[in-house]
Structure 1
């Protein structure tokens, strides 16, 4: 029962549920009313802000009088009534019904008087104002008779009536005004006491509107005329509220199944106390925070940093305006100020300061310095906004690994309570690692364990997440995952982008290399060869080989493949390519983007002069193959303004690269035999800006021009050498 009441926002009724020492206060109020001998009416105002526990105190007062035969407690909730005439008749009917149950033993019930009088209230309401209706109704003969009979019955029974009126401050302004006029006009009932629970400022403001032509404090003045005994709820000590709040936090953490380290607990308590202590003004605020955590922590368990989430939910609870600023300004608060030594970030910093100042100024009970300290800890970028400390991009991996809100990859999760589209759940990643230890490879196409998770839309996020965690994967899981990824390489996107190594395709090959490094050193060559062999595409075979970690003489401690191991793997790759060629495969059509890498691999790891023989035979069967070869060496260029990709030119760098693997004479002879018009080039390097011109023809002309230029260079160098001799 206690847990249920704690987790919900329900008022409490029992003394054993009292956490804020309100029972003794309530009991004293009840005893004063019970022992009062004066028959005149009394109106008590129970003042407290919204959520301070006024309803619970009314419940305690009622409970403490439960066994007191001298007092009849009647609860009247004006919030149940939609109109003023309903409020009026409901008030008397509730009193009559309660007294009928307690006092009236005959068949002549008090509520019958109300039923007789009530029909007239609506008719009068249509013609008169609320004040006149109340006066007419209460001064009418039936109500006067009801009043006399009630007073007579109470005096005869030596009992009193205590009317508890709650939720006054939740009414509309007109309803608040009507209720207080009702209380004012009925306050002369003998043996009757009222306790009205409300936020004094809210009610006074509503009454002020009614008497706007009067003095500035007319609302409070009106209250003073009606409320004879103003009582403020006893203040709850800050430490008690904090403990109550932290009990809710503990319960939410336990429900979510989250285990915090001692350091995490200390970080949370430090930041919570610095920022939110002044915001803990009522038990309801404390309870609301715990309830929010019970919702958010289980949903995002394992997907975000729990301390960051708990602190963010604190911001949402205690300063909603700040929460909104954070939610819609991801770019301002994630990451760090890049290249801070070379660029001016003053405008962005000023923007951040202005946004935060405005948001904090709109909050209530805000300790600005405490909130700024909290934000600096949650978003390290702010350390350079409010100080001189800066963080470099080397911190990004730490923030990613910690699932921090300051990470661009995790920020959105904290606000959507879900994994954004295109992202992958960290739980899914962890389950994948755990399950992969049990996989038996190699897999068939339909039985690959990654079929359900790796596809065109998920590849980028999945590979990025796996790369971040690659160092933590054990040898068995690494072996199985490397093979599975290689087999699924056809499903990994490889778009044309400025930085080709940032594509999911290249990142996946790097991941395979990372995984290979996780197995025992004697097993790595075999695994690398297996991944190359089982890769679904020739491009991915080449990409795996490209990103294998090689020993560096400048870093002898680095655990990587030796030159001998690389040579062994390269020969294995070369054989695979050779088998493709012997199967009459035209590589310029099969893998046009990878021709330069293939030529290098064939000459180095299969046989020197291999490419010369292959290309010569290829061109004799299909002269257009020469154009495709040149095209494969030309890089993609990107428009500075349009950002549209297009083929660049075949320039000196491409000439050197091609002729390093293929004899220039083979290319030149093929151009003479099949594209003789390209041999006639001008003195200027051929550049054509007309989109209608065939790029392939242009590349042939550029090769011829460069070849002639290189020949002239050699001749000049030989002449210079001869003259020196």
Structure 2
């Protein structure tokens, strides 16, 4: 696993732009050029949240301006590096002087020095803090403006600048770092004392932080628009950092997570868990810095424990909670027992039965902003499935025994120190519309065979609500077309948020919109368009999650009937797979099918397997071979190898409690890169324990947290 260390450095050149912001920078540079005049001075304000890429965009704007208009001089003014108003004025005049030619600008520099010297005594009278700061700035500035000596010095400097005929841009970045009174001093001093004709300003700041600073200084009133009106007097041309689009978020996350991921298990559900929680990631990681900072923390924490000691996906979700909700993260160890068990430890009478009082996580979520509590709840339920609400179909829990949800592994997770191409919206909308009418070709051409980033972009645009079908006939047609396309998608073994998984999420959302009384056969026709039982099950899991969101409580009448069809199909396919022994296809997803059937029909599957073993059509070693998984390192060329992490618990639920001689066979040395069933059967010998008894789960879905 190799990766580049994140340093939070801003982009310095257009070649580094990976968010498609260069065109915006080019237009901004042209606006600065087009509005320039040697008879006036203009101020541009670039706003964006912390981490959105303001400094990077400023650098692109400056680069484009000087590349196309090399006559421009650019100065960087850093006001928060000074401690008082005189220092601020000196820094300003020094920055302006630095943008002048060495020889031709000599007289201008002398005039600027004179202006600064004349202004210095008045500047010393301006309080930098306290209630009188704002008034002090204006009084001193007004006094200077009426002072003959200062006016003469200012006019001389202005005349020298105009004679030089050199356009100048002064960049003032991160002005929101200043305290309220310092901020007002900067804005008013520069506004009243530094507006030389021919000099443009580019201010960069987070407007919400800026307004809060003004409010603290009592220069404006909260929530009455006075802060906005104040800035309107300062900034004539407002600009903004383009919002990070959803497909850009996903692409950046995928690239980062692929670089730090260490393994994937060949169970047919590659990356399904994180894919099901994609909305949590996109809601919480909304800026490039937020995403990169999150990935940087994972780069540090994931290697701290060996690959077989933790569930990397649990680490990723816990880290997301930590960077987004630190107080919630710090509270998790305090509620260790309740989160793991799903109850408070107190007994309560429910009807005729005595049972534990379920643990309510809502008070735990009180430290999270109200608008994000649903997101925080989804993350907690995924990590600790037993706190899920009764009847919840999809919780996206871990299947690994090293998960944080298990008592013996919990402590480890807290002791770790622990856009160059595009596709038009109209093209995508038309393709989806034709697919809704049963024509697959246009949408297939956009998705199948395309580069992953383009495919991801198309999928993101496909999800536009205005493109979705509004009739049940259209929903069925679209779902069938999407299922056909899913068959041709590459396997999602290269990292989280795979394209096929996003397609299955879309299918789930489309089908969840069907009328509650839709015939089950219509759903069956869609599900059997998928070419393998494992893919059908993956799609059904996605649909279950969509049903949870669409119905809140209850489920459509067709759900149980189609689930039964899928269970019977997966069971028959698995039994046939056992009968074929070592000659069976080494297809992916057999273990995934088993877990699905167990979650719905454990007794029938177990009984059928016992009959198969008694008839000698299969043996215990063949059954064990199907539960030997394979793994590879993600982000590199696949190198699948057999895993020592045998699924003994599932084997206990399937195998008869008999003392078969096979259990006494010794371990064999095998080539772990040989994934054939014959080799897996040899590999299982000596590694599998005979079941001491059948593990009976009253509610199998609670034990199979998906």
TM-score relative to the length of structure 2:
0.52
Q: Structure 1 residue 277 and structure 2 residue 282: aligned?
A: yes
Q: Which residue of 2 aligns with 1:496?
A: none
Alignment of 1:541-556 (within 5 A): none
Q: Which secondary structure does the structure 2 equivalent of 1:331 belong to? A: helix
Structure-2 change in CA distance of 1:345 and 1:557 (3 Å): same
Counterparts of 1:107 and 1:61 in 2: how far apart (Å)? Answer: 26
Q: Assess if the C-alpha contact under 8 Å between 1:304 and 1:410 holds in 2.
A: yes
2:364 to 351, 355, 359: 355
Q: Which secondary structure does the structure 1 equivalent of 2:410 belong to? A: coil
Q: Structure 1 residue 233 and structure 2 residue 237: aligned?
A: no
Structure-2 change in CA distance of 1:50 and 1:250 (3 Å): same
Q: Assess if the C-alpha contact under 8 Å between 1:75 and 1:163 holds in 2.
A: yes
Q: Which residue of 1 aligns with 2:426?
A: none
Q: Which residue of 2 aligns with 1:261?
A: 265
Q: Assess if the C-alpha contact under 8 Å between 1:100 and 1:109 holds in 2.
A: no
Q: Structure 1 residue 194 and structure 2 residue 201: aligned?
A: yes
Q: Which residue of 1 aligns with 2:623?
A: none
Alignment of 1:148-297 (within 5 A): 148-186=155-193, 188-209=195-216, 210-212=218-220, 216-253=224-261, 258-261=262-265, 265-297=270-302
Counterparts of 1:204 and 1:267 in 2: how far apart (Å)? Answer: 42
Structure-2 change in CA distance of 1:73 and 1:386 (3 Å): farther
Structure-2 change in CA distance of 1:284 and 1:406 (3 Å): same
Q: Assess if the C-alpha contact under 8 Å between 1:124 and 1:133 holds in 2.
A: yes
Q: Which secondary structure does the structure 1 equivalent of 2:40 belong to? A: coil
Structure-2 change in CA distance of 1:141 and 1:3 (3 Å): farther
2:337 to 328, 331, 334: 331
Alignment of 1:35-74 (within 5 A): 35-36=34-35, 38=37, 39-67=39-67, 68-74=69-75
Q: Which secondary structure does the structure 1 equivalent of 2:403 belong to? A: coil
Structure-2 change in CA distance of 1:213 and 1:326 (3 Å): closer
Q: Assess if the C-alpha contact under 8 Å between 2:78 and 2:91 holds in 1.
A: no
Q: Which residue of 2 aligns with 1:13?
A: 12
Structure-2 change in CA distance of 1:327 and 1:181 (3 Å): farther
Moved more, 164-173 or 99-108: 99-108
Counterparts of 1:213 and 1:272 in 2: how far apart (Å)? Answer: 40
- Give 1:243 deviation, angstroms: 0.8
Structure-2 change in CA distance of 1:390 and 1:295 (3 Å): closer
- Give 1:102 deviation, angstroms: 7.4
Q: Which residue of 2 aligns with 1:504?
A: none
- Give 1:236 deviation, angstroms: 2.3
- Give 1:174 deviation, angstroms: 1.4
Q: Assess if the C-alpha contact under 8 Å between 1:72 and 1:161 holds in 2.
A: yes
Q: Which residue of 2 aligns with 1:378?
A: 383
Q: Which secondary structure does the structure 2 equivalent of 1:99 belong to? A: coil
In terms of fraction of residues, the more helix-rich structure is 1
Counterparts of 1:41 and 1:313 in 2: how far apart (Å)? Answer: 47
Q: Assess if the C-alpha contact under 8 Å between 1:41 and 1:192 holds in 2.
A: yes
Q: Which secondary structure does the structure 1 equivalent of 2:300 belong to? A: helix
Structure-2 change in CA distance of 1:19 and 1:214 (3 Å): closer
Q: Which secondary structure does the structure 2 equivalent of 1:162 belong to? A: strand
- Give 1:149 deviation, angstroms: 3.7
Alignment of 1:560-579 (within 5 A): none
Alignment of 1:372-411 (within 5 A): 372-383=377-388, 385-387=389-391, 402-411=401-410
Q: Assess if the C-alpha contact under 8 Å between 2:298 and 2:316 holds in 1.
A: yes
Q: Which secondary structure does the structure 1 equivalent of 2:406 belong to? A: coil
Counterparts of 1:56 and 1:324 in 2: how far apart (Å)? Answer: 33
Structure-2 change in CA distance of 1:35 and 1:389 (3 Å): closer
Structure-2 change in CA distance of 1:108 and 1:16 (3 Å): closer
Q: Which secondary structure does the structure 1 equivalent of 2:125 belong to? A: helix
Counterparts of 1:389 and 1:190 in 2: how far apart (Å)? Answer: 67
Structure-2 change in CA distance of 1:409 and 1:112 (3 Å): same
Counterparts of 1:108 and 1:555 in 2: how far apart (Å)? Answer: 93
Q: Which secondary structure does the structure 2 equivalent of 1:190 belong to? A: coil
Q: Which residue of 2 aligns with 1:93?
A: 94
Counterparts of 2:192 and 2:417 in 1: how far apart (Å)? Answer: 56
Alignment of 1:596-615 (within 5 A): none
Structure-2 change in CA distance of 1:246 and 1:94 (3 Å): same
Counterparts of 1:215 and 1:252 in 2: how far apart (Å)? Answer: 44
Counterparts of 2:86 and 2:312 in 1: how far apart (Å)? Answer: 52
* Matched positions, count: 409
Counterparts of 2:180 and 2:377 in 1: how far apart (Å)? Answer: 38
Q: Cα deviation per residue 1:163-215 (whole Å; 9 max; x = unaligned)? A: 11110112111111212212321464211111111112221233244334699
Please give the root-mean-square deviation of Cα atoms over the aligned residues, in Å.
3.7
- Give 1:50 deviation, angstroms: 1.2
1:310 to 313, 316, 328: 316
Q: Assess if the C-alpha contact under 8 Å between 1:274 and 1:371 holds in 2.
A: no
Q: Assess if the C-alpha contact under 8 Å between 1:7 and 1:248 holds in 2.
A: no
Q: Which residue of 1 aligns with 2:23?
A: 24
Structure-2 change in CA distance of 1:112 and 1:326 (3 Å): same
Point out where structure 1 has 5 or more consecutive residues left out of the alignment: 420-553, 563-725
Counterparts of 2:255 and 2:165 in 1: how far apart (Å)? Answer: 46
Structure-2 change in CA distance of 1:294 and 1:213 (3 Å): closer
